[in-house]
Chains A and B, each alone.
Chain A
Amino acid sequence: MRRLLKDPLLWIFLVFALYPAIPYIGNFISLGSELLLWFIFTLSFNLCLGQTGLPSFGHGAFYGLGSYAAAITYLKLSGEGGGFLAPLVGGIVVGTAAAGLLGWFIKDKRGVYFAMLTVAFTQVCFGICWRWDEVTGGEAGLSGIVRTTFLGIDMKNLHNFYYLCFVVFVIAALIIRSISRSCFGLSLQSVRQNHIRSQYLGYNCNMYKFVVYALSGAFAGLSGALYCLLTQSAFADILDWSKSGDVVMATLLGGGTVSFYGPIVGSLIFIICKNLLSSLWDHWLFIYGMSFVIILCLFPTGLMGVFKRRAASKA
């Protein structure tokens, strides 16, 4: 019990279970949902970056393709009053497939080359979604998605939808953390820390990179699908590489390379800045960009890195 109470994840769950009751911020219920989606997204991204050392600059592609998949599944298959599940499954399937496809081809690439091939991939996906009017709606995007009922709960109500996201987040976070602490997670760590040694212990490193990339794509696709249902639309701009850059930056800022909770801290800062700071001052990106530079120059392991070092020096 005491160990459970010390678990930071429990406290994160508690805070977000009570989110709608938090004064001021609690009023922005869509912001809360977006936060939860970003948590899922960046946590899954960090399976690549922090756990396996894969610098993917193309995760926005899986998020974006997931949201298109959800929209198309909804419009073509479920239609008005149709199921809620099909779009989510569609997002997961497409996210996994896209990441698996890309991962299969670039699993033996490293560092900058890996990163740039993911950029090329996401830009190609972006270009296709932006121009393929018949399927993706082109520049206008897809709209007409309506959240209906799910398991008898009215999803038009934003609070109900928030709690759906919350449940998905809880499940996803528990799964991802359990993976990161598992035997498989240790195998991934070994690939990141020393891939040559790892091979001489019998690990087929490229295969692990491929599997974790596809796995991460599944969660990215899922969060993209939820994003589509949240905004009731799908647009191409989330596939641009700069959006993937935001994910990498937020994860690094939070300290994803040293801590499981880094992505959560990072997305909290990024999403809050993007949605709240921007309403106070148009040029919030100036502050965000400069703070990113200053913090990372001073503490290369990010915010959780500072926290961890403090804890270590106290102990």
Chain B
Amino acid sequence: MLTLSLFLNGIVLGLVYAAVALGFSLVLGVSGVINFAHSITFTFGAYFFWAMYKHVGYLPAMLLAPAAVAVIGFFVERLVIRRVYGQDPLFGLLITLGFAMGMEELIRMVFGPATHNVDAPSFANGVIIFGNFLYSQYRLFIALVAAIMVAAVWLFTEKSRYGTVVKAGMFNSEMVGALGHDLYKMRIWILVLGSFIAGLAGILAAPIWSVKSGMGSSILMPSFLIVLMGGLGSIPGTLVAGLMVGITLSMGVLVAPRFVDIMPYILMGLIVYFWPRGLMGQQNIIE
């Protein structure tokens, strides 16, 4: 029973990672920028939600907070990220890392250094019982929302007309212009979309990890490594890699509880070392 619930925890965690990594991957593909400021959108999502959910209600806050984060994403693109288009990906990484450091401090300045708790919503506050197996309803709720996000992004890139252009742009950004779309506009929209997803992921994680200023930077590196592991531009790859990391993190407790933190890094290191294009990737811009 413990094994099963750890496995489920792993899937829940993996879906959240995958959702954050997806935004990362979209921006990296279309804009060629390794956007480490992605982490602050995750944090902002959680803080905005914490600040408003008791006033406007749970579900409205789940839409309003990511929307606010998306606006922040827009300004981040205008102020910082557009300056590193076309530069060395590592230069962009450092610029956005510096920006994320500053913004994380701004969050501490505005919201204070304390850790805040967010209650699980009343409609998913209990446990689900299957025979003698109990599982938190809230975690299932997280899995559901994260899975919907991943599926929505996948449907967007596979089925919608604009989405297919985005997908083409992830392999070759010159294609965007050739297909008659404005690459600069697309870069903004994709960053806004990525911020929205990360903001929502931050909200989902809030009741489990609690709201603190460092929550973004702790998910930053794993989610970027998930992007590399899954293969750039591959949504199924990102999903698989996210689930692998999530399950490793939660099931690792059974093997070596003390060293569970390093297991995903070993996994990522091995995959990136032996399969530089990731599990399902194709040739990409950072090679």
The answer to the question of B90 belonging to the interface, with a C-beta cut-off of 8 Å to chain A, is yes
Other-chain residue from A124, A249, A283, A300 in contact with B269 (beta carbon distance below 8 A): A124
The answer to the question of B262 belonging to the interface, with a C-beta cut-off of 8 Å to chain A, is yes
Other-chain residue from B93, B104, B272, B276 in contact with A285 (beta carbon distance below 8 A): B104
A120 touches B108 (CB 8 A): no
In the complex, the chain B residue whose C-beta lies closest to that of A130 is B261
Contacts of B104 in A (CB 8 A): 285, 289
The interface size of chain B toward A, counting residues with CB under 8 Å, comes to 42
A116 touches B98 (CB 8 A): no
Shortest distance in angstroms between A129's beta carbon and chain B's nearest beta carbon?
Answer: 10
Q: How far is the CA of A131 from the CA of B272 in the complex (A)?
A: 25
- Those of B78-128 within 8 Å (CB) of chain A: 80, 83-84, 87-91, 93-95, 97-106, 108-109
Contact with B along A170-193 (1 / 0, CB 8 A): 000000000000000000000000
By size class, the interface of chain A is: 35 or more
Q: How far is the CA of A242 from the CA of B286 in the complex (A)?
A: 22
In the complex, the chain A residue whose C-beta lies closest to that of B261 is A127
The answer to the question of B209 belonging to the interface, with a C-beta cut-off of 8 Å to chain A, is no
Of B8-16, B50-58, B192-200, B221-229, the stretch lying at the interface with chain A is: B221-229
Contacts of A123 in B (CB 8 A): 221, 261-262, 265
The answer to the question of B34 belonging to the interface, with a C-beta cut-off of 8 Å to chain A, is yes
The answer to the question of B130 belonging to the interface, with a C-beta cut-off of 8 Å to chain A, is no
- Those of A228-265 within 8 Å (CB) of chain B: 241-242, 245, 248-249, 252
Contacts of B100 in A (CB 8 A): 289
Contacts of A109 in B (CB 8 A): 273, 276
Contacts of B238 in A (CB 8 A): none
The answer to the question of B258 belonging to the interface, with a C-beta cut-off of 8 Å to chain A, is yes
The answer to the question of A113 belonging to the interface, with a C-beta cut-off of 8 Å to chain B, is yes
Among B87, B98, B221, B224, which residue has the most Cβ atoms of chain A within 10 A?
A: B98
Closest 6 CB pairs between A and B?
A: A289-B102, A127-B262, A120-B269, A292-B98, A289-B101, A286-B105
| 11 pairs, CB–CB < 8 Å, chain A vs chain B | A109-B273, A119-B221, A124-B265, A124-B266, A130-B261, A283-B106, A284-B105, A286-B102, A289-B98, A289-B101, A292-B102
14 additional A-B pairs beyond A292-B101, A293-B99, beta carbons within 8 Å, are A109-B273, A116-B225, A120-B266, A120-B272, A127-B261, A128-B262, A130-B261, A245-B94, A282-B109, A286-B106, A288-B101, A288-B102, A296-B91, A297-B84
